[in-house]
Chains A and B, each alone.
Chain A
Amino acid sequence: MAVLNPLKSAEHTIMQDTDLAGPLVFCLAFGGSLLLSGKLHFGYIYGIGLVGCLAMYCLLNLMSLNGVSAGIIVSVLGYCLLPMVFLSFSAVLLSLKGVVGLVLVIVTVMWCSVSASKLFVSALAMDSQQLLVAYPCALVYGVFALLTVF
């Protein structure tokens, strides 16, 4: 629910119970929805996800005071992939290469990155640096959006 409402502030204890089941389901759902569009990109999803998680792990360990575990990174990035799953389902019905598609992509990427940065910032107590955390998240989700559009 914290992912679906990016404007609501999250509790800092929200990431104490991390799990990988949700992120795995969302990755499979994303791959399945791309399959409905005729794109077989499961390998790309896992590869980009792995590289993105590794990059965020390095970056957040460098920026935060106490460090962060890989489980939290994978969990947050995986759960915040949910809006991207909605976008890929909408790509089945309409083409995303027009103006409407561009607006949808921008809104979705911003939704994912704001949610992810909100969760990271509340878990790591980095309130003044939410924008600095959101931008790399936006780059990672932007690459996922490229997979969806092209």
Chain B
Amino acid sequence: MADMSWHSNSKMSDRSAVLDMDAIEPGTISSDRDSGLQDDYSSTFPSESPKGKRAAGGKSFGEDMRQRVGENVTQMMWQAGAQSARRAWNVYGNIDLLRPYFDVEPKEVQSRLVYSLVPMRPTDTRQEVPKELYGPTMVVLTLIALLLYQMKSADHRVEEGTLIGSAFAVCFMYWLGASALVWFVAYVCEVRIAILQILSMMGYALFGHCIVLFLGTVIHTSHDHMFFYLLWAVVGGLSTLRMAGIIMSRTRGSKQRLIVTGTIATLHLFFLLYLHFAYHTIVEEISDAFHQNFVPVPASVKIDVIAPSANVGPAT
């Protein structure tokens, strides 16, 4: 539909531009003039033919015509451009295009969240992936809120910008960027899946990340990452297997399946590692600093350190 409107629009603009440019074509005008005097003015004069004795007055007339024609052409080009921009905005900037993808019920969202952690064995029949954006958007916003809470509690400081800006940038860039990359790889490997389904699938898979971050924040295990690695393997693995099952049910060819599922698994699991180690490690460094300051040096150790150096000094 968008192509047709662009096509008709370009036709209209071509039509209007062609009409005006034809009126001032040098070839059609200069053929009626003497070449000596008229070559300089051939592009400016309309159908009329000024004579040689009017050269002085014709120059100002020609300049005037040139100016007017230039203004008219500029105005028409501006109007055509504004019209094209308005049509493009109506087609692409119309928020109503996304309306069908936000039409959900609470129970549907709940079941999709739960099933995002339940891998299903791939079969010949395609596993259904809903084209929905409400759930994934809310999951991403929840992830941002959890990251913000982690950054605040770790007293993370950002030099240029704000904590909210950093969290927004990280989470939305991952969701949209990773989905675009997966869509490209899926397109190359001939996976039968749409971009909205990929957005929905990757968005719901971030629910596992929210659970891991929440449990990691609530349950503090000092200086030990084993609990996080366990959650990373179990929860991250379940959501990755769920996505892998969906992709494998929609792809033919073992190499293609391997490429796409490998891409998804790498992006998904490394993002969780990044979220943990970029923001959680700060808590450990602060607690380490507190631990060193609060451990006093015993007095007997100080005396043993000073005494040997006092004996050696005078002898030399």
A interface vs B, CB < 8 Å?
Answer: 48, 51, 58-59, 61-63, 128-129, 131-132, 135-136, 139, 142-143, 146, 149-150
Contact = CB atoms under 8 A, between A and B. Distances in A.
Given A132-B109, A150-B152, A150-B153, A143 B164 contact: yes
Contacts of B104: 132
Nearest to B149: A146
A149 B155 CA distance: 13
Given A132-B109, A150-B153, A62 B102 contact: yes
B279 to A, nearest CB: 14
Interface residues of B, number: 20
Contact of A136 (B99, B141, B148): B141
B278 interface: no
Contacts of A139: 138, 141-142, 145
B138 A129 contact: no
A90 to B, nearest CB: 19
A95 B116 CA distance: 38
A61 B149 CA distance: 29
Interface in B132-164: 134, 137-138, 141-142, 145, 148-149, 152-153, 164
B103 interface: yes
B226 interface: no
Given A48-B164, A143-B145, A136 B138 contact: yes
Nearest to B138: A135
B95 interface: yes
Nearest to B148: A146
B102 A59 contact: yes
A103 B115 CA distance: 30
Given A128-B105, A129-B106, A150-B152, A61 B138 contact: no
A78 to B, nearest CB: 20
A63 B103 contact: yes
Given A139-B145, A143-B148, A146-B148, A131 B95 contact: no
Contacts of B141: 136, 139
B297 interface: no
A139 B153 CA distance: 17
A64 to B, nearest CB: 10
Contacts of B106: 128-129, 131-132
A59 B106 CA distance: 15
30 contacts: A48-B164, A58-B95, A59-B102, A61-B95, A62-B95, A62-B98, A62-B99, A62-B102, A63-B102, A63-B103, A63-B134, A128-B105, A129-B105, A129-B106, A131-B106, A132-B105, A132-B134, A135-B138, A136-B138, A139-B138, A139-B141, A139-B142, A139-B145, A142-B145, A143-B145, A143-B164, A146-B148, A146-B149, A150-B152, A150-B153
A143 B164 CA distance: 9
A132 B109 CA distance: 9
A150 B151 CA distance: 10
A6 to B, nearest CB: 18
A55 to B, nearest CB: 8
In the A-B complex, list the 8 residue pairs whose CB atoms are closest, starting with the nearest.
A62-B102, A150-B152, A131-B106, A63-B102, A62-B99, A139-B141, A139-B145, A132-B106
